[in-house]
Structure 1
Amino acid sequence: MKFTQSAVLAFAATAVAAPSSTTREKPRAAAAACSSAVSLDASTNIWKKYTLHANNFYKAEIEEAVKTMDADLAAQAAKVANVGSFLWIDTIDNIAKVEPAIADVPCNDILGLVIYDLPGRDCAAKASNGELKVGEVSKYKSQYIDPIVKILKAHPNTAFALIIEPDSLPNLVTNSDLQTCKDSAAGYRDGVAYALKNLNLPNVIMYIDAGHGGWLGWDANLKPGAQELAKAYTAAGKPKQVRGIATNVAGWNSWDQSPGEFSKASDAKYNKCQNEKIYVTEFGAALKTAGMPNHAIVDTGRNGVTGLREEWGNWCNVKGAGFGVRPTSTTGTELADAFVWVKPGGESDGTSDSSATRYDSFCGKSDAYQPSPEAGTWNQAYFEDLLRNAKPQF
């Protein structure tokens, strides 16, 4: 690991890419929805009752991908289509995906949505910059959050799990020296608090993004990170439907590898969170002290293979990656509610074209898959690699 601790802290911003806005819409036939209003008890692990829904948009992408595969790989890919995953609502236009996604959710399933459109989004990474400019928090509230609230209220018989704004608050902890993050800070805090307050509905469970163990897991970041999240939670009025945090979103960290992937690095002594299991425990303790709910869901969508990255902060289209453990509430740790699939495997983290406007140098590193298209765009070859390297195999 070549980064010093300070370098890791500065660059550990994980750019996360949402589904392409051109994703084909293929809603399934209406499922057996609940006959009465859903009421989720955020003091309990709702994943023991509900199954993460396999949304129809990711299914459509995989059905298209299967067409060019050989028979054996196609058969495996077809199984991926039935794995529950989160749907990314990364633009105002993509709010239109929510209603069709609800159409086939049965009563024992929960629809996962990623709320991801803050002004000045991803202030420390170019690959997944958003549509709203710094200062447009009023537009974020009225044209993004409010319409989503209206839809969720209109479907009280459907259960929803929300991940609130990946990368936002963690960036304010570790990249506060960047002017772009300084400019975005007020909007992030205001926007996240507004989202938490207004999405606090009986049929909703919420998790605030908390980066991962290689980001806020550093000894120096645990307390400030927990305090940053807790401030947003408190500013929102401590909404009762907030259950805790989401970790490793679009990430690569192992759940319980021991010793950890970077445990032999020269600066490892400054980070005890060498896997996500330790991170959930350590950060959970810090959250409790800060006065915030501290249960977690962990993204295992692409962490089936470890030892691939040259440095812990490398986040873009890691070569050799494989699909990880399927969504389940069996985690072996009380603070970890569930393993879930958040990042749609096969959609690019960012382009490797150095001449592109949204090119980020992390996507040109030697451990990043090349060529790769723009963030959110389907990469067939990368999807097939994730499938071949899946652990466990499909």
Structure 2
Amino acid sequence: MRRLIRTLAALSVLGIVAGCSSAPDVNEASVAGAASKGEPALAAAPFWVEPDSPAVQQMERWRRQGRAQDADLLQRIAERPAALWPAGEIDPTPLVSAAVAGARRTGQTAVFAAYNIPHRDCGQHSAGGAADAGAYRQWIGRFADAIGDAKALVVLEPDAVAHIIDGCTPPALHAERERLLSEAVQRLKAQPHTKVYLDAGNPDWIREPFKLVEPLRRSGIAQADGFALNVSNFQTNDTTTAYGLRLSRALGGKHFVIDTSRNGNGPLPGVWCNPPGRALGTPPTTDTDQPAVDAYLWIKRPGESDGECQGGPAAGRWWPEYALGLARNAAD
């Protein structure tokens, strides 16, 4: 089970979302309210910070309970931008619209993960997705319409391409999936200020990057801004960058982004679901010192469970003690 740890699995108004990722416990009301509150205390240019995230709410709760030191540690999560994962089971318009409205107010970029491909996650922890190709086209169209002319960055369909390669997605579905991904890239890129990065797994999953090349090409990588790596996983920046550069060269120099949300201590061998002792990684930034790496992003929302393992709640549920551990173990 060397897959990305899925980030959005279900519940709250967001519903089930993410494959090797875990769903953010964010809802439309909180994002809409946040949009009206203005900037968070600590600017995180160029990416927008959700002002009323579960981490912010937890900080406030702990301060009322006298846990000021823990609240201060959690600020390392609360004041940094993390991707929003609109639920596939509902219309993404309200959540996306509220987020881009907040980002527009601060002149920043809203970061999203689009995770609703049919037959998502091969029926595993984040099973679900659109009922069929038509439903997916409608959903991604609404997603794009809600972004409008705002500045946005979309990580497209975590795990979708890698599951074609690892055999989890049945061969009969490969052509449709690649066609839908290619169409989704084109639809999102029709928005004037939207960047799209097609997910390409992580170095510990598809270990030979050349295997990704043709599936990514058939899935529209040529029209995308690049690809995303390490979504909801724990591979280090050095390992992921080296892997990404190999894949980039094979794709004619395509750029990429890296999920650094929980890779501060690297992976724990053999444990992909809520591994203990992990740490927050490099805060989101476009200053990567590597021309081919466009940004370090927190695509997985730190503090949200990967699933019912290691004592954690259901996938996508906010888990304050795990969040606290990530923050406590972080370098800064």
TM norm structure 1: 0.72
Distance 1:147 1:330 in 2: 32
Amino acid at match of 1:151: A
From 183, 186, 190, the equivalent of 1:197 is: 186
1:14 aligned residue (4, 10, 13): 4
In the alignment, which of 320, 332, 347 is matched to residue 277 of structure 2?
320
User: What letter is aligned with 2:244?
Assistant: V
Which deviates more from structure 2 when the two are superposed, residues 71-80 or residues 23-32? 23-32
Residues 256-286 of structure 1: CA deviation (Å, up to 9, x unaligned): 2xxxxxxxxxxxxxxxxxx012111111111
Q: Does 1:280 align with 2:244?
A: yes
Partner of 1:372: 312
Pick the aligned partner of 1:60 from 53, 69, 76.
Answer: 53
Asked if the contact 1:15–1:127 (Cα under 8 Å) also holds between the matched residues in 2, the reply is no
Q: Per the alignment, do residues 188 and 345 of structure 1 end up closer, same or farther by CA in structure 2, a change over 3 Å counting?
A: same
What CA distance in whole angstroms lies between the structure 2 residues aligned with 1:163 and 1:86? 9
Displacement of 1:351: 1.6
Give the match for residue 114 of structure 2.
115
2: distance between equivalents of 1:183 and 1:13? 22
Is this contact kept in 1: 2:230–2:259, CA < 8 A? Answer: yes
What is the one-letter code of the residue matched to 2:163? N
Aligned AA for 2:201? G
> 1:15 touches 1:167 (CA, 8 Å); kept in 2?
no
Paired residue for 1:85, among 82, 87, 99?
82
Deviations 1:157-198 (A, max 9, x none): x2000101000001111x22x4x4335423321221121111
- Relative distance call for 1:381 and 1:30 in structure 2 (3 A) is closer
The alignment yields a C-alpha RMSD, in angstroms, of: 2.3
1:71 aligns with 2:30: no
1:31 CA displacement:
7.8
Q: Percent identity?
A: 24
For residues 357-393 of structure 1, give each alpha carbon's deviation from its aligned partner in whole angstroms, at most 9, with x where no partner exists: xxxxxxxxxxxxx21111111112211111111122x
Q: Tell me what 1:147 maps to.
A: 142
Partner of 2:20: none
Q: Which residue in 2 is equivalent to 1:343?
A: 300
Counterpart AA for 1:336 = V
SS at match of 2:316: coil
Q: Distance in 2 between matches of 1:194 and 1:127?
A: 26
Distance 2:137 2:88 in 1: 13
Distance 1:372 1:183, change over 3 A: farther
Amino acid at match of 2:4: T
1:253 to 206, 221, 235: 235
Aligned residue in 2 for 1:357: none
Residue 15 of structure 2: aligned partner: none
Name the SS of the counterpart of 1:337 in structure 2.
Answer: strand
Note closer, same or farther for the CA distance 1:122–1:298 as it changes in structure 2 (3 Å cut): same
Q: Does the 8 A contact of 1:127 with 1:374 survive in 2?
A: no
Helix, strand or coil: the match of 2:126? coil
Q: Is the 8 A contact 2:100 2:151 kept in 1?
A: no
Alignment-mate amino acid for residue 187 of structure 1: E
Q: Give yes or no for contact 1:21–1:94 (8 Å, CA) kept in 2.
A: no
**In the alignment, residue 324 of structure 1 is paired with which amino acid?**
G
Greater shift in the superposed pair: 190-199 or 61-70: 61-70
Cα 1:181/1:317, change in 2 over 3 Å:
farther
Label 1:114 to 1:162 Cα distance change in 2 as closer, same or farther (>3 A): same
- The answer to whether the 8 Å contact 2:89/2:130 transfers is no
Deviations 1:51-88 (A, max 9, x none): 111124xx431123221361111022134212011111
Inter-CA distance 74–243: structure 2 relative to 1 (3 Å threshold): same
- The alpha-carbon distance between structure 1 residues 103 and 181, as it changes in their structure 2 partners (threshold 3 A), is same
On the 8 A contact 1:15/1:128 being kept in 2, the answer is: no
- Point out where structure 1 has 5 or more consecutive residues left out of the alignment: 1-10, 34-48, 257-274, 353-369
Q: Matches of 1:183 and 1:231 in 2, distance apart?
A: 15
Work out the CA distance in 1 between the residues paired with 2:37 and 2:319.
31
The residue that corresponds to 1:355 in the other structure is: none
1:210–1:246 CA contact under 8 A, matched in 2: yes
One-letter identity of the residue aligned with 1:327: P
The answer for unaligned runs of 5 or more in structure 2 is 13-25
User: Structure 1 residues 381 and 349 mapped into 2: Cα distance closer, same or farther (>3 Å)?
Assistant: same
Which AA in structure 1 matches 2:256? A
Please report how far the alpha carbon of residue 50 of structure 1 lies from its aligned counterpart in structure 2 after TM superposition.
Answer: 5.9
User: Which secondary structure state, in structure 2, belongs to the residue aligned with residue 109 of structure 1?
Assistant: coil
Residue 162 of structure 1 pairs with residue 144 of structure 2: no
Q: Would you say 1:298 and 2:255 are equivalent positions?
A: no
Structure 2 counterpart of 1:171, one-letter code: H
Please state whether the residue corresponding to 2:102 is helix, strand or coil. Answer: coil
Per-residue Cα deviation, 1:95-135 (whole angstroms, up to 9, x for no partner): 13112212321353100010100010012x611112434xx
Taking a change above 3 Å as real, the CA distance of residues 53 and 151 of structure 1, as seen in their structure-2 partners, is same
